[in-house]
Amino acid sequence: MRELGSVLVCYSGGVDSAFVLAVAHAELGERAVGMTAVSPSLPELEREEACSIARAMGADHRLVDSSEIDDPAYVANNADRCFHCKSELYRVAVAKRREWQFEHILNGTNVDDLGDYRPGLEAAAQAGVLSPLVELGFSKADVREGALALGLGIWDKPASACLSSRIPYGTSVTRERLAQIGGLERVLRAELGFRQVRVRYHDAVARVEVELGELPRAFEAGVRERIVDAGLAHGFKFVTVDLAGYRMGSQNELLVGRSLRVVS
């Protein structure tokens, strides 16, 4: 990190990018900045937590607007949606790097991310974004161990993703749909206390995924009714709970031959 001189970290508030930002801030001080791109696909809770985490570590943290929702290729929500989203993120990052006079752009990609179907990795390569965790061979477990060693309170924070990832490929991404999903997820997390949760959008149906260990609580008296009421209040006609539980990238299960990518 010292050899890089100065860095702009694409910082979402997740444990990976938080770890990178924490190390960058510790080694470079004011020559490191965390940039969080704000758009309708960023959950409100994630934005709030990103600000809180950066403030706790004393890092320079700046919020900027991104406009992927204005890109027809992104709105179309084909299997390469992530590429268009990350392309916009890195376009903004490149512009801000120049404006703020930093030398390099970093992200929080780790080696475990390389196995899933993630076209956003190609966008990072095209923009010349560096992935120090990949270069050093850090797995997710390594990142959590490092974050714990640095005293980051989010070392065990569950994985997160943008709200657009909840919408099936081929169903267009709109501000209204993102607001529906984000509103219901906020209730499930902030009010009902579910730690790992996703609301998968299926037109009139909200398919709720929670960790298997939390699944029984979704059917407890009072909780089930609140889940249904929250779903209806946010514009869904039906609310279901997925008995298979939460799994990362479950929408990718519909991509034949693309749920996993072999990396040599």
DSSP string, 119-141: THHHHHHHHT-B-HHHHTT--HH
Q: Which ranges in the chain are annotated with CATH 3.30.1340?
A: 163-247
> Cβ(11)–Cβ(18) under 8 Å?
yes
% the chain with pLDDT above 90: 87
pLDDT at 115: 72
Q: Using alpha carbons, select from 26, 24, 29 the residue that is nearest to residue 11.
A: 24
What is the CA 234 to chain-centroid distance, rounded?
22
**How many CB atoms lie under 10 A from the CB of residue 37?**
25
Cα separation values, 116 from 26, 41, 156, 255, Å: 31, 20, 21, 12
Q: Using alpha carbons, select from 174, 229, 175, 166 the residue that is nearest to residue 201.
A: 166
Q: What top-level class would CATH report for the domain 163-247?
A: alpha beta
pLDDT at 35: 98
> Cβ(195)–Cβ(175) under 8 Å?
no
% the chain with pLDDT above 70: 93
C-alpha 25/C-alpha 107 separation (Å) is 14
Count of CA atoms in the C-beta half-sphere (13 A) of 236 = 28
C-alpha 207/C-alpha 114 separation (Å) is 27
pLDDT at 259: 44
Give 10-residue mean pLDDT values along the chain (264 residues).
97 97 98 97 95 97 97 96 94 98 97 79 92 96 97 92 95 97 97 96 98 96 97 98 85 50 35
C-alpha 232/C-alpha 164 separation (Å) is 20
And the tokens for 54?
């950066």
Q: Which ranges in the chain are annotated with CATH 3.40.50.620?
A: 7-149
Cα separation values, 11 from 8, 152, 188, 208, Å: 9, 15, 24, 27
Q: How wide is the angle at C-alpha 197 spanned by C-alphas 195 and 202, nearest 5°? A: 165
pLDDT at 263: 34
Topology (CATH level 3) of domain 7-149: Rossmann fold (3.40.50)
pLDDT at 254: 55
C-alpha 112/C-alpha 159 separation (Å) is 12
pLDDT at 250: 56
Q: What is the overall mean pLDDT for the chain?
A: 92
pLDDT at 116: 61
> Cβ(93)–Cβ(8) under 8 Å?
yes
**How many CB atoms lie under 10 A from the CB of residue 213?**
11
pLDDT at 117: 66
Cα separation values, 179 from 33, 182, 232, 257, Å: 29, 5, 13, 31
